[in-house]
Structure 1
Amino acid sequence: MTTPPGAQGNPSNEPGEPRSGRWSDLGRPPLNAASLRRALVRDGGLWSSLDVVPVTGSTNTDLAGRADGLAEGTVLVAEEQDAGRGRLDRQWTAPARSGLFFSVLLKPTGVPVERWGWLPLLAGVATATALSRAAGVDTALKWPNDLLVTVDGQERKTGGILAERAGPDAVVVGIGINVTLREDELPVPGAGSLLLAGATTTDRDTILRAVLRSLGQWYEKWRSVGGDPARSGLQDTYAAGCATLGRVVRAELPGDKSITGEAVAVDGDGRLVLATAEGVQQPVGAGDIVHLRPAGDTGDAGDR
């Protein structure tokens, strides 16, 4: 297994072993890289390689830095990230082996670049679908890139997605999911985990296989129609699972500006459409906003 730039060494040479020791937490066993490769990497399939590293700064950064020399479908998984990032470089941290932290390299040839903005939303649909099926957890989407579960009757963020361009023909999509975090380990009060949401399984191998299979299916469907969100069914499926729609929210913009309105749709470009009190339907793109909050809230404990 090739260790990407930024990954730390593994003194016992065990694939996927975290730096704290392979069995330092018996409730959080390491991923089985060989088994994952047998299940997911096959001729004619999307996933061309899969590596698990014990620790790295950011799997997105690692893949983006080597994108030119890698095949589409490269998957990099880290048992621990010490410089994980969310949107706008917000920090993402979690104990070793408590979640799934991975990135995939996609090269969507045949899809117009202006439709590539749908990739993080596609990843959200694929991940939410997989978590519902594999872990029995009802997972909702907060536009543009958060995964929500219900813990004690409250919506909590259990995952996030970050898509970044990696040269002219590639995109790296990173996904982070809190799997077994306990209440006392949560980085912020608004966070959650599959464990806290009552998942039927917290086996990370099972969950990762389900997410990657779902992601591959949705990606191939979307790419086969030139990235058309309507023809691929992506736009309707995203809207059906988006908890943001139907709520009055405030989109905070750079320069201390904001737009408040009811979220009424996700348009063909993946933008959230807000119906304002002035009767205007205003679309906002993911790249335009700093925060999206419920109207009246001054902060969002789940932002990361």
Structure 2
Amino acid sequence: MTPSDASSGAAADRWSSLSRPPLSAAALQRALVVPGGLWTSVEVTGSTGSTNTDLAARAADLPEGAVLVAEEQTAGRGRLDRTWTAPARSGLFFSVLLRPGPDVPVERWGWLTLLAGVATATGLSRAAGVDTALKWPNDLLVTVEGEERKAGGILAERTGDAVVVGIGLNVSLTEDELPVPAAGSLLLAKATVTDRDPLLRSVLRSLEQWYERWRAAGGDPATSGLQETYAAGCATLGRHVRAELPGGRQLTGTAEAVDSDGRLLIRTADDAHEAVGAGDVVHLRSVH
């Protein structure tokens, strides 16, 4: 399906769900693409497999700041190639194209996943009055009736001299629509706003602010304030966790900090410290 075909399909069922109106690319473009700003284009497609895959395929022909939004993703990808699907127009599914170099050394590009988490949480707090916690390295958590649930995720992928950062967020999903019982949405977290247009604008503006601050600091997470802000909003720190590492190894201990490379520092039962740069982390219980 081409973007034009997808848009035609979206127009055909434009009013199929009055509570989930379609996004307007023209309105978003007018609001976000401004002289001197980061965002250079905003494209909205009706349905696609993955905005990350689509944007990465076109990265060589696009300037930094291209934004691709899908009303529906049929093959959205999370970490470890997990799929991310949701009803059409029930969430925000978008990817952005960034080129941090030459201002930022390549070894600091890994911070973009954590930066996107901070920016998303900040933007949602401003626009929807909902607290979004960060689970290392790339999950967005909300509280639903006192229970911590995953409402979104982030996937950053390098392609040539660029990084494509994809964000998926459940906005208006009801309990019956959740892919798994442990999932959540802004609606279930009692957000004051579930209109995706102002939510997307707020997240993208927050992402621009954090990205420019980080890039101006040469990607230094401490100087830019990113490391401190991430730690303050990270629900993983202070928790007893199990890290499921590449190769099938597991590590259990207390998550104590995020180091200057964005790695999670875990203190094990024998008081050893290990830095985890990749893997799945399971929250086991709070440490008192």
The normalised TM-score by structure 1 is: 0.91
User: Are 1:132 and 2:125 counterparts?
Assistant: yes
3-state SS of paired residue (1:10):
helix
Q: 1:33, CA displacement in angstroms?
A: 1.2
Corresponding position: 1:25 with 2:20: no
Using the TM superposition, give the Cα deviation of residue 186 of structure 1 relative to its aligned residue in structure 2, in angstroms: 0.0
Counterparts in 2 of 1:212 and 1:8: CA distance versus 1, 3 Å? closer
Give the length in aligned residue pairs.
Answer: 284
Shift of the alpha carbon at 1:84?
0.5
Residue 282 of structure 2 corresponds to residue 293 of structure 1: yes
Preserved contact between residue 158 and residue 191 of structure 1 (Cα < 8 Å): yes
Matching of residue 10 in structure 1 with residue 5 in structure 2: yes
Amino acid at match of 1:41: V
1: distance between equivalents of 2:201 and 2:107? Answer: 30
Structure 2 residue 84 is matched with structure 1 residue 92: yes
Q: Which has the higher helix share?
A: 2
Preserved CA contact (<8 Å) 1:7 1:57:
no
Shift of 1:149: 0.5
Give yes or no for contact 1:141–1:148 (8 Å, CA) kept in 2: yes
**Residue 5 of structure 2 aligns to a residue in which SS?**
coil
Match of 2:224 in 1: 232
Distance 1:20 1:152, change over 3 A: farther
Give CA-to-partner distance per residue, 1:79-120, whole Å, 9 cap, x none. Answer: 001110001110100000000000000000210000000000
Q: Corresponding residue for 1:74?
A: 66
Question: Does 1:120 pair with 2:109?
Answer: no
Change (3 A) 1:240 1:43: same
Q: 2:274: which partner in 1?
A: 282
Aligned residue number for residue 104 of structure 1: 96
Q: Which residue of 2 aligns with 1:156?
A: 149
Q: Matches of 1:97 and 1:37 in 2, distance apart?
A: 18
Residue 241 in 1 paired to residue 233 in 2?
Answer: yes
Q: Deviations over 1:59-94 (max 9, x none)?
A: 000010111110000000000011100011101000
Residues 1:268 and 2:260 aligned together: yes
Shift of 1:246: 0.1
SS in 2 for 1:237: helix
Q: What is the CA distance between 1:213 and its match in structure 2?
A: 0.1
Q: Which amino acid aligns with 1:37?
A: Q
Contact 1:126–1:215 (8 Å) recurs in 2: yes
- Offset at 1:253? 1.5
Poorly superposed stretches of 4+, deviation over 6 Å: none
Aligned residue for 1:191, secondary structure, equals coil
C-alpha RMSD over aligned residues: 1.4
Distance, in Å, in 1 between the alignment partners of 2:80 and 2:11 is 28
Distance 1:186 1:64, change over 3 A: same
Moved more, 248-257 or 183-192: 248-257
C-alpha displacement of 1:31: 0.5
Q: Distance in 1 between matches of 2:66 and 2:150?
A: 27
Q: Secondary structure at the match of 1:66?
A: helix
Percent identity over the alignment is: 71
* Cα distance in 2 between the residues matched to 1:187 and 1:20: 26
AA aligned opposite 1:165: R
Q: Offset of 1:10 from its aligned partner?
A: 3.0
1:10-41: per-residue Cα shift (whole Å, max 9, x none)?
Answer: 37x65xx6277111111100001111111000
